[in-house]
Amino acid sequence: MKKLGYLRVSTADQKPDRQIDGLRFVCDELFVEYASAANTKRPVYEEVIARLNPGDGLVVWDLDRAFRSVVDALIEVEKLKERGIHLEIVNLNIDTNTPGGMLIYTVVSALAEFERRMLSSRTKEGMAAAKARGKHVGRPPKLSTAQLDDAIARIGSGTPVNKVAAAFDMAPWSLTRAIKREQ
């Protein structure tokens, strides 16, 4: 029986260190994926699942590192159970190999989704409140007003958009979008 650890972080800037530290002593191998939970394509996850055989275990540190929603979590665990594979969530000490573990897993899945939805709701409320107060929400503009005026003038004098964008170290579509926002 082997235990394969699946770790996921949303961006390459994030570090999986916490997950690695939690899983390295309980897993035979660790697999790290750099992908948002919203991604429908997760090649590393698919590779791990394909390598598991009856009696093996899929091990994750947190529930939200592997699944996007309650429905996703329950469907995936059922698929694993049909193949004779169990899921372990280390930081919650849950093993779906037992009836009690499966019950706790189901409840925790629902709570995790509730938490994600509440966080999303609070974030949207905060952004709306900031916008209502005239605050800029999101990344800071790549170009200052003077730089944007310069770019518009260059394009107006016949310089191709891609050349102007390169001069400001940005993608042409970003420059075009900035100009449209300005107008």
- DSSP string covering 51-95, please? H--TT-EEEESSGGGT-SSHHHHHHHHHHHHHTT-EEEEGGGTEE
Q: Does residue 63 contact residue 95 with C-beta atoms inside 8 Å?
A: no
**What number of other Cβ atoms are within 10 A of residue 110's Cβ?**
14
Dist CA 160 CA 143 (whole Å): 18
List the structure tokens of 25: 């002593």
Question: Is 10 labeled as catalytic in the residue annotation?
Answer: yes
Query: CB-based burial of residue 4 (10 Å sphere; 0-12 exposed, 13-18 middle, 19+ buried)?
Result: buried
List the catalytic residues: 10
